[in-house]
Amino acid sequence: MPNLSLLILPGDGIGPEVMTEVRKVIDWFGDRRGIAFDVSEGLVGGCAYDAHGTPLTDATMAQAQAVDAVLLGAVGGPQYDDLDFSVKPERGLLRLRKEMDLFANLRPAQCFDALADFSSLKKDVVAGLDIMIVRELTSGVYFGEPRGIIKEGNERVGINTQRYTESEIARVARAAFDLARKRSGRLCSMEKANVMESGVLWRQVVQEVHDADYPDIELSHMYADNGAMQLVRRPKQFDVIVTDNLFGDILSDCAAMLTGSLGMLPSASLGAPMANGRPKALYEPVHGSAPDIAGQGIANPIACILSFAMALRYSFDLGAEAARVEAAVQKVLADGLRTADLMGPEGGTPISTSRMGDAIVAALGAV
């Protein structure tokens, strides 16, 4: 098997700590399974601003465009709050998403059996939950023009524009339909067609894509506010959900907390296929940089490790290896090993970031 290229961007806060544990998993596959990764490393976010005066250099951007996949830790921290908006750490991440044209953000929400009691919902509501939210990532209200804060008379006015073309909607819809076809064959599209013209177009285009190319998929439509209510009322009614940038941001965070801990949740951002047939892709944990616990060795590395598992599945066509990583995580949790964020009333064995990584590596050989 040829070497698979991977750019690692640890970022800020707990990013470097959790990424260290991912490197252990990468090394295990190289040492034990002969799967060699050509790994390079760069700076993004606040650390890049400290070193170069920008949250992402042109050289790192070019490197991200050239590799098979990018794995990112987290960006940001309170020391950067007063920076100009154009150079805040988050702008580095947004530039990666925009210039790599990563239009489909996959956010799984899976409730591991050992953590079913961690959800704020009743155990029977979330036990066995396994849903996927596909969020459009490069358009919509976060990128639409005009935008800004202007003066009208004696007061300020904040302006953001929700804008979608039918081609932008169609391509993320196709990504969601393809994913649904590999899962249960069900897709729910969420928007606000009752009050927003962009929602009307969204619903029309998703339906058109379905009717033309995916008639085998069971498609339903739902207003996004009702979708939020249904996620906390009866989340297992869903399998794959597709929605726009803003609603996807909100709904995926809602779904994330159904599982009990943000420290458990990975994500993938996928773009168009490259010359080798693989999609451009960036993988990152859902959690932030958690500056309040950075450097203490108590961060949960599982979300970042599971993000690497998503890279194995979607960028490297190594589905069996991805399943092995997921099974190793399941085993470690079933054995009662817990980082600080996973310690609940039922107890468990408290372990550090490093020991969690070591335990998952050990479990890789036992599952």
192 is catalytic: yes
Q: How many CA atoms lie within 13 A of 18 on its CB side?
A: 37
| pLDDT of the residue at 253 | 86
Tens digit of each residue's pLDDT (9 = 90 or more) over 93-152: 999 998 999 999 999 998 888 888 778 788 888 888 899 999 999 999 998 999 999 999
Catalytic position from the list 225, 236, 239, 358: 225
Q: Average of pLDDT values for 81-86?
A: 93
113 is catalytic: no
| pLDDT of the residue at 242 | 98
169 versus 253: the higher-pLDDT residue is 169
| pLDDT of the residue at 344 | 72
> Tokens 């993988």 label which residue?
283
Domains (range + CATH), the chain: 1-106+264-367 (3.40.718.10), 130-258 (3.40.718.10)
- Sequence-distant (6+) residues with CB within 8 A of 362 are none
Q: Mapped to the 3 state alphabet, what secondary structure does 254-281 carry?
A: HHHHHCCCHHHCEEEEEEEECCCCCEEE
Least confident of 54-63, 228-237, 273-282, 356-365: 273-282
Catalytic position from the list 213, 239, 253, 358: 253
| pLDDT of the residue at 116 | 81
Q: Average of pLDDT values for 58-79?
A: 97
Catalytic position from the list 249, 280, 331, 341: 249
How confident is residue 303, by pLDDT bands cut at 50, 70 and 90? very high
Tens digit of each residue's pLDDT (9 = 90 or more) over 234-264: 999 999 999 999 999 999 988 888 887 767 8
Whether residue 179 has pLDDT greater than 60:
yes
Q: Model's pTM, two decimal places?
A: 0.89
Whether residue 334 has pLDDT greater than 80:
yes
249 is catalytic: yes
131 versus 345: the higher-pLDDT residue is 131
Catalytic position from the list 12, 68, 80, 142: 142
State how beta strands 130-136 and 240-243 pair. parallel
> Which of helix, strand or coil describes residue 139?
coil
367 versus 205: the higher-pLDDT residue is 205
